[in-house]
Amino acid sequence: MIKLTNKTTKKIKHLSEFAARANKFDPVLYGKYDVKRGLRDVDGKGVVAGLTEISEINSFKIIDGVKQPCKGELFYRGYDINHLVNGFLRENRFGFEETTYLLLFGKLPSHNELEEFNSMLSELRTLPVSFVRDIIMKASSIDIMNVLARSVLTLYAYDEMADDVSIENVLRQSLQLIAQFPLISVYGYQVYTHYHSDNSLIIHKPKSQLSTSENILHLLRANSKYTPLEAKLLDLLLVLHAEHGGGNNSSFTTHVVSSSGTDTYSTVAASLGALKGPKHGGANIKVVKMFEDMKQNLNNRSDSEVENYLVKLLNKEAFDKTGLIYGIGHAVYSLSDPRAEIIKSYVEQLASEKGCTEDFELYEKVERLAPQVIAEKRKIYKGVSANIDFYSGFVYSMLNLPIELYTPIFAIARIVGWSTHRIEELVGGGKIIRPGYESVAKRRRYVAIDKRGISK
């Protein structure tokens, strides 16, 4: 029997040098051929690749014919995100289920419609018989995003109409996945902490009367207890993470894969792979770890000391030495990220409840100083500000949520946006998405094998 190994051998390392050399070319060629690298213009504006009615992001306004940066705006189906949030918070309701209804069906639900929709989601909060034992508990993973992806692909085998891409069937599959994601994520974490940390394995069943955010906390905690503020803030983060335009990496992945005509499970698994990356959904983890490193290297948290640390970050002398200040700046927003502003208004209250006021003050200080440091050290085409990842990780840590669930919680929310974009792509019946690539390879003549030299 051949034994599998995940070690990198000397031969693989040697071959990897060939692979790297064969795929490297001068970045100047992007400009020469006018290639929009990363589907973005030189000034950072995304290349328009499609139309959507699902959500809209604004960071600039035209004033007297001149493009000017403005405070960030986010709209779900034409509704200002601030108005939506203020609406359900003012009425002391949870908003994620209502937001899900709005994104999927393009309208705000009535009382009866929302009650029926909540009941439907509640009935769908279940997994196939023995799925937890046979799928989640076997080959436990240290990364819950991989648990999600593997589970989603496995659910294909439990669906008799898995390949049916009619809208009614895709909607049925989407609603099931929206309801199942919290269960798979939390159960995956419970199994991970049982096998890797030797903790007790506690599996709670979801409760029909609870909202999505309440069920997450109920499923996660051994005693199932949580405060109203904890549930409200988690619900708010789910709302703010549910959708962010078709141009974000994972939602665009949804469009690309859906355009090929493949099934829902394959599409969602691909979107999960995109979200997992530290440049996308994993960014909030980087923020938390960056602050942990910062606190270990600060003495008095003065402005000058914090500023010096931020300069070291940019100079690749601190933390992970990537030259990034995580949580500051966004591909689209310039002056502000509306999601960050909304969540920040509640962070201070939670910090006070959790005894984390000093940490909150440090976050505020970095939010104030980082744009100044970046403006001095880097050439930027637009302003930078705190994005939602800057505060979301801090909220998760104060909620005592394990860091392994930060990105899966993002996925629990964003599955709503992915589902909506998938339906939009299928309804539009467009062509397969296939962008062009300019080849810069030189022509070469074939050489017979006995005349080839040994590569070095």
Q: Order of strands across the sheet with 55-63?
A: 55-63, 66-76, 79-80
- The rounded distance, in Å, linking the Cα atoms of 439 and 437 is 6
Residue in 255, 337, 389, 421 annotated catalytic: 389
Q: Note if 163 is an active site residue.
A: no
Q: Note if 330 is an active site residue.
A: yes
Residue in 280, 293, 320, 359 annotated catalytic: 280
Going by C-beta distance under 8 Å and a sequence separation of 6 or more, which residues neighbour residue 6? none
One-letter amino acid of 242: A
Residue in 218, 244, 255, 330 annotated catalytic: 330
- The rounded distance, in Å, linking the Cα atoms of 362 and 350 is 15
Q: Note if 389 is an active site residue.
A: yes
Give the distance, in angstroms, between the CA of residue 103 and the centroid of all CA atoms in the same chain: 17
- The rounded distance, in Å, linking the Cα atoms of 191 and 198 is 10
* Angle between the N-to-C axes of helices 249-258 and 406-428, in degrees from 0 to 180, rounded to the nearest 10: 40
- The rounded distance, in Å, linking the Cα atoms of 236 and 251 is 20
Give the distance, in angstroms, between the CA of residue 74 and the centroid of all CA atoms in the same chain: 16
- The rounded distance, in Å, linking the Cα atoms of 58 and 34 is 26
420's tokens: 């909506």
Which helix (H) or strand (E) covers residue 197, if one does?
A: helix 167-197
Q: What is the DSSP string of 355-385?
A: T-HHHHHHHHHHHHHHHHHHHHHS--SS---
One-letter amino acid of 310: L
| Residues labelled catalytic | 280, 330, 389
